Structure 1
Amino acid sequence: MGDDVFCVLCGTEHSKLETVEHLFRDCEVSARIWAGSVLSIRVEGAKHLTMTDWIIDWVQYLGRQEEGRRRVILFIAIIWGLWTIRNKIKFEDLAINPQLLIGILFDSIKERAHLLRNQVDNKGSLKEPRGSVGDQVDQQKTDLRNGIPFHMIGQPGLCSPLRVKVDASWDRSFKAAFGWVAYDEMGRERLRRQVSTRAESALQAEALGVRDVVSWARSGGVLHLDISSDCLHLVNVIADLTKTDHLIKDLLEEIRSSARFFHCLSFCFIPRYLNSVAHGLARQAIRL
């Protein structure tokens, strides 16, 4: 966040400079969320505090209350939820619709609170996941995330995953291409890539793109990877180990075998309109 970055939660007409204090606490939207939560936190008198001091004060105060650990987890989850909706507005062109934002916020809070509770041991300390995905083959999960098909292998940690959006293009002359864009935990673009290739089907082209992302992340030492694709068929095939298209059987085996090098590897379907950059890269590459 810099001096030239404005808060997207405020709205375009009244937007203020985005600082951590403003985004997570002082913004009118954030303040309403804190006040409306079960924690009933009022932020009006805290503007003289840095975000670090404010968080420490509240964590210590909540921790001393009945069910303190649970309330601290909720406090952290709300911060995570605010960051989630900020990134969806800024990087996924999500409309600032209060009802939609509240729905996404609560889904994010529930998801993050559930993960944090699973990582708290009997003494109340937070634990990082042990071992790699290869040691956690029983922790495969196929579910819905915000109503969207989602498949996860492994156990997510406290750090945010590297997020990559991928898409492919194909024609009946077997010419194909794929493109992808990687974003860091701040939602900033880290790398984009486009490759022209050959494929026997559109699904095979999509799988080639996913394999390329996994190979790149593995070689770069990435431990938490979240891959989004607008090919619902591919996400479903990756999730269902009993069904494999013969044209992508070898590719799927490579993708699945690479999972052991990650602590958490997830695949999520996204609509085409949220994947415009990767789609444009693939369309551009197929014309080369």
Structure 2
Amino acid sequence: MPMADNLIKRRITNINPACSFCNNHTETLSHLFRDCEFSQRIWSASLGIVATQGDHLSIQDWIRNFLNLFRKKKQKEERKIESDFISTLWGIWIHRNEIIFNKAKKNPSRILDIISDSNRRLHRINNKQSEFREHVKGDAKTISSKPMEWSSGTKSTTTMQILEVDGAWKNRKGDQWRAAIAWKNKNEDQGEESAARIFANSPVQTEAYAVLKALQDMEWKCSDITIRTDNLEVVQALKNRGRTNKNIDPIIADIKRIARSFHFVSCIKVGREGVKLAHNLATKARKGEI
């Protein structure tokens, strides 16, 4: 319900303009929530606030100043005192409506009970929000620490061959050999590697060709293989059937087709350091050094 002064401005009749608490002044936002002596006693009892300080401000600025002050405090303390402040505003408003609509008698204890009940609910909500934020933060850490990976088939009991792959691509005008791909077997008993120049129209296409070449070269040589790449887009394309990238779709289809020749194939996104050996090979191949 609007304040009495607003109702009078709208020329609504049969309105008692007096403050429901003191009956001595016209009811306005400033008077009801700050300037009335009854409300001032509530502020003092609930938060120890001397409401007359800052009475030269509009009620909106008065409230805003307190909220800004609370935000300078430590986070947990800020949430509690901010909730207490909002609950006090709420308690004053609710009791004012009880007096007007329910013919209740003015009772400071009633407002303090409303404030306490509101505080309990607000604190419960804040605690649940804090728990939710911590839960989300924990999930985010788990997700961020878990590498992006695509896999096909079931692991067998044989040794897993681990290959790092990489592509080197440079858009140099007139350069026929603008790209090169390489792979390196990380298993000590293998020590296999390969590097070759190719033609590719983008870095991601080069990376996709590197994964394909590694699988083609190792087909029928082993049953379980893990491919390490530093290109997230290739792994995402392998994982997401509905997601298409015309630039690499045919290559992705070939990778999946050849993967069916193995018992188990995994393609995992790693950092640049995880493909350093393959990167060096690919760079040398693109420059014609090997």
Report TM bin, short chain: 0.3 to 0.5
Bigger Cα Rg: 2
Report the TM-score, using the length of structure 2 for normalisation. Answer: 0.46
- Relative to its length, the structure with more helix (as a share) is 2
Report the TM-score, using the length of structure 1 for normalisation. Answer: 0.47
